[in-house]
Amino acid sequence: MILRNGLIAGAVILLAACGSDEQETAATAPETATPETAEVEVTTWGFGLEEIEGSVQYEYGEKFAELINEKSDGEIEVKLYPYGQLGGLTDIYDQVQEGAIQLAFGSGFLGGTVPESQLFSLNFVLTDDEKLNTEILNDPAFRKHEDLVAAFAERNLQPLAIVPEGWQVWSANKAVRSPDDFEGMAIRVMDNRLLRETYSAYGAEPTTMEYGELFSGMQLGQLDGNIQPVFAHQEMDFYQVQDYLIFANQAQFIATFMGNKEWYDGLSDEHKDMIEETVVELVPYVHDVQTRLNTERLDIITENSDIELVYLTPEERDAFRELSIPVRDTFAEMVGERGERLMNALIEQVEAAQSGDETPSEETDAEDGMQESDESAMDEADAA
């Protein structure tokens, strides 16, 4: 609660700043010109992150900012607002919807704002190959799917990229190997109904809590378990108050990179193309970032604690997979025909990629050398 209040106080200070000189930077401010140089109008795009410095979202944001600044010859600066600076998670979504910031990430909590985005919380839908998943989700056939774009547009948002940040790993104070082990366990889920349905189906007691309150929630015993990618278990110190990390590879943590729709619609074609080129370049980049961060942080966790690592066998995973399948119907009931079409489109893309019928479009390969790694990812998936 103390942290939540701190977050809100931080947001108030920031919004007060936006009302004064921040407002000027958010619009356009001329840089000091020398007699030799022409005046450059600098525009600032505010980018709200759901995570703190050192996270996958922060590294994505830094690289996005660097590339946009380069491509615009310094005309555009992207200002990052790490988690906590704009308030809680839903405060970030509110601010991008209202246009107080231009860009933001939205993940599990976004389900309250864009119900169709709960699709990314479904378990056992993607392949076991993380790189292939990143490519499928960012293939224009899915990323620009009219139902995805319409779902976000209805909430004044424009989806720009889909960013998987690693496997969602369970933490608990006992080893969880079967749905029976989940019985009576208060496991924290991000605030969306689909996750509550999923973990109820697994036999647990899903409990919603803000990201910044989780450490104390576990320390005080309000929560018995948590679900995060490895880097977040480390970065937020969650692992220090849990005894087991359980790898079921049931789902990846997926965030949508999005813009305010009105703002996006008003951009010049040149700026839209710049964004498009950048998000395409960042597809292989963010895959490398997330695998590096998750690997490095697991080493830190094991060096600094006695936490036990549990990797589920294929048979153990199957018990959870079976329980997860009916939740797809719940998703369809919750979000209606548009969401159901989108879910089916994703499932078809996954099946096509796994059977090798269709490789993700070459539009995702912005840089030389990407083609080769894409092919090896496909080969690995085929062999699996």
**Are 166 and 133 contacting, i.e. CB atoms less than 8 angstroms apart?**
no
Cβ nearer to ligand 6CS, comparing 130 with 374: 130
Minimum distance, C-beta of residue 209 to ligand 6CS, in the bound complex (Å): 8
242 lines the binding site for ligand 6CS (CB under 6 A): no
Minimum distance, C-beta of residue 327 to ligand 6CS, in the bound complex (Å): 19
81 lines the binding site for ligand 6CS (CB under 6 A): no
Q: How far apart are CA 188 and CA 233, in angstroms?
A: 13
Token representation of residue 204: 């647990």
Residue type, 215: F
Q: Which of 93, 109, 238, 257 binds ligand 6CS (CB under 6 A)?
A: 109
Residue 359 CA to its chain's centroid (Å): 23
Minimum distance, C-beta of residue 362 to ligand 6CS, in the bound complex (Å): 30
Minimum distance, C-beta of residue 279 to ligand 6CS, in the bound complex (Å): 19
289 lines the binding site for ligand 6CS (CB under 6 A): no
Interface positions, 321-340, toward ligand 6CS (CB under 6 A): none
Q: Identify the three-state secondary structure at position 208.
A: strand
Task: State the binding string over 219-238 for ligand 6CS (x if CB under 6 A, else -).
Answer: ---------xx--x------
207 lines the binding site for ligand 6CS (CB under 6 A): no
Q: Identify the three-state secondary structure at position 335.
A: helix
* Nearest in space to 114 (alpha carbons), one of 336, 281, 274, 287: 336
93 lines the binding site for ligand 6CS (CB under 6 A): no
290 lines the binding site for ligand 6CS (CB under 6 A): no
Cβ nearer to ligand 6CS, comparing 211 with 264: 211
* Nearest in space to 163 (alpha carbons), one of 43, 280, 330: 280
- Specify burial of residue 74 (Cβ count, 10 A radius: 0-12, 13-18, 19+): exposed
Q: What is the dihedral of CA 79, 82, 85, 89, to 10 degrees?
A: 120
Give the helix/strand (H/E) hosting 277: helix 269-304
Minimum distance, C-beta of residue 338 to ligand 6CS, in the bound complex (Å): 25
Minimum distance, C-beta of residue 55 to ligand 6CS, in the bound complex (Å): 7
Q: How far apart are CA 249 and CA 247, in angstroms?
A: 6
Positions in the binding site for ligand 6CS (CB under 6 A): 50-51, 89, 107, 109, 190, 211, 228-229, 232, 253
